[in-house]
Chain A
Amino acid sequence: MTSVIRAVRADADPVIEYIGTDLEPGACLPTGDRKYPAVRFPVQPGPESRVHPATRLEYGVSCDIVIRSYYRDFRWLRYCLASIDRYCHGFRNVVVVIPQTSLAKWRWLGLRADRVVCCPAYRDDYLGQQVTKLFADIYSDADYVCHVDSDCVFQRSTTPGDLADAGRPHVLMEPYARLDSHAPWQALTERFLGAEISYEFMRRPPYTYPRWLYPALRKWCQARHGVSLDEYVLSRPPRGFSEFNALGAYAYRHHRDSFAWLDVTDGAVPPGACRVFWSHRGLDAAVYQEICGLLNVADGGGNDVRPPGAQ
């Protein structure tokens, strides 16, 4: 099936910059299955610096919050961004990555972030958004990437330092033996890694990984499966891949000493930085009220998208 999702033309906006122009030699671009080029453009100048030395993940390194979103989640994204404004400190930039097909709606809604980067559009964006995250080092040049989704709302003060121990990012894990046997991720992660996996690693956002891990995983995939990582992911059936399980399991197996592994069954896990909603459930009045409570405001923190019918 050949298909092209409609998109705003890149050359229609003079501030748009093609993402491939400033990559390091040999950098790998996710191709997706669309023919539109990925582009990068500044929507709003970022703050001079959000980074205070005391809040760094480790001295002298940078950490960006990267959010992969799309048109259907933009109303959630407002609250996510508002919560970052309110609670997050020490992060260098908030980078929002959206498919080019969502660009018109982004502009229409008047959303803003430190940086917005357009990624390819994918026929199956459930897998496509995973590809984007696995190429996070293309969309951000920070030393560490902190992933959250559009339907995550920060609920307490958070710095990069809160997400690591001695410079080693926290990765939460839980034995599969404790989980519902219907959880699909174990078998497909084992198939990807070609090894037995005993832990589930997609436990709670934010997920923070060093930028070197992404190309390492891609190189490993090419060597193991003979195809690029985006090709591998996009060839899976629906729900046939788990990006954070792949990152976590790969890191656990090949770079265990570079991370702080927190088994949620040990009871020593720090409280969650985010309240994680589920965008597919819908944004109703009850959710809106809860978000207002989290943001400690009466109206969504000035990010004034109320649920349909709300007065």
Chain B
Amino acid sequence: MDIQKTPTRLYDTKNDQVRIDQTQELDPHAAVAVMSFFRRLDVPHLFQERVLPTLEAGDSSVFLAIRDRPWPPWGLGGMTVAAFCQIHAVSPTGVGVSPVYTADQDATNLGLVAALYAEVLEELTRSEHSEVNYLVLEGSAYASRVLRSYGFEPSQDVLVTDEHRYVFHRTNAGALRERLGLDRVSVPELLAHEVDDETFQRHALYFSALHLASQPIRLKDGVMREIIGIDGGLFDALLPGGVGSFEIPSEPPAAAAP
């Protein structure tokens, strides 16, 4: 008993009470907790318009960082969702992964975000769904370049809207886990922010980019996002046969010399 683990820093006490759960269905109390979470985020529509239909379509899981009420821990209000991430199958081997949503009071709780994402990637690395997908705005500099730096590669699969075209960016879940250093640290270490500076910075860049590029999540029609959610049913969204492919820059454009 020689290791002192006293909660003293910002988020230490809150993270000490966090458990991470994965589920394919939401019982009534868990559903209320998730609905309340999105209501507090001022995006209540996400539950009805995205989370629930995606879950009900099957082959989807939600990962929840939960804080239980001290007493009693059951019943309505017994659990509070602190962070949320959803995955769903988009191909036989690939999943779409949502941004990691956090409550406003955990907005900079990088350890919480990383811990939740670590559980997502661990699940993917031991399942047949071993490929992580994000849908990125064609021509994006920010999101695409950051994702490429973590091993993502753009594909020929696209989503086309009236205004924009989005390109699937993919990487292997295990490789991403290694690049993020999540194979070397435990969830309690992440929750306690006990990671080296380099790993911390890699997490900060990756999760900030995912978060920012997915903004705005509030209802604002016409605002362009660099990363959007992958709707169910976009399996192998290659263009139909005979349609010419479009060019994907193999490397990010080089920065201009000063």
Contacts and interface: CB of A to CB of B under 8 A. Distances in A.
13 contacts: A3-B21, A5-B19, A5-B20, A8-B186, A72-B68, A75-B16, A108-B5, A108-B189, A108-B192, A238-B75, A280-B70, A302-B2, A309-B8
A124 B74 contact: yes
Most chain A CB atoms below 10 A, which of B1, B22, B27, B68: B1
A280 B71 contact: yes
A304 interface: yes
Given A104-B187, A306-B6, A3 B22 contact: yes
Given A6-B20, A6-B123, A304-B1, A108 B25 contact: no
A112 interface: yes
Contact of A5 (B4, B21, B25): B21
A303 B1 CA distance: 6
Given A6-B20, A6-B122, A308 B13 contact: yes
A105 B188 contact: yes
Q: Which of A3, A5, A109, A310 has the most CB of B within 10 A?
A: A3
A21 interface: no
Given A280-B70, A305-B5, A104 B186 contact: yes
A109 B5 contact: yes
A81 interface: yes
A108 B24 CA distance: 29
A110 interface: yes
B74 A126 contact: yes
A126 B73 contact: yes
Given A239-B72, A280-B70, A282-B70, A305 B20 contact: no
A282 B16 CA distance: 12
B184 interface: no
B26 A1 contact: yes
B74 A9 contact: no
A110 B188 CA distance: 12
B7 A82 contact: no
B70 A104 contact: no
Given A108-B186, A282-B70, A308-B8, A2 B1 contact: no
Q: Among B19, B74, B119, B126, which residue has the most Cβ atoms of chain A within 10 A?
A: B19
A67 to B, nearest CB: 15
Contacts of B12: 308
A78 B5 CA distance: 11
User: Interface SS of chain B: helix, strand, loop or mixed?
Assistant: loop
B245 interface: no
B22 A5 contact: yes
A107 interface: yes
A176 interface: no
Nearest to B7: A308
B1 A110 contact: yes
Interface in A268-291: 280-282
A69 interface: no
Given A282-B70, A308-B7, A111 B23 contact: no
Interface in B1-57: 1-8, 12-13, 16-17, 19-27, 30
Given A3-B23, A305-B5, 7 more contacts: A1-B23, A1-B25, A6-B123, A107-B188, A109-B5, A280-B70, A308-B8
Contact of A6 (B22, B30, B74): B22
Contacts of B188: 104-105, 107-109
Nearest to B2: A110
A258 to B, nearest CB: 35
A98 B109 CA distance: 27
B112 to A, nearest CB: 14
A3 B25 contact: yes
Contacts of A112: 1
Contacts of B30: 1
A4 interface: yes
A178 B157 CA distance: 72
A104 B4 CA distance: 16
A2 B17 contact: no
A80 to B, nearest CB: 12
Nearest to A302: B1
B20 to A, nearest CB: 5
B253 to A, nearest CB: 40
A101 interface: yes
B35 to A, nearest CB: 16
Contacts of A82: 1
A71 interface: yes
Contacts of B19: 5, 71-72, 101
A94 B71 CA distance: 28
A3 B17 CA distance: 20
Interface in A48-91: 71-72, 75, 78, 81-82
Most B CB within 10 A of own CB, among A81, A105, A110, A308? A105
A280 B3 CA distance: 24
A294 B3 CA distance: 22
Interface string B216-252: 0000000000000000000000000000000000000
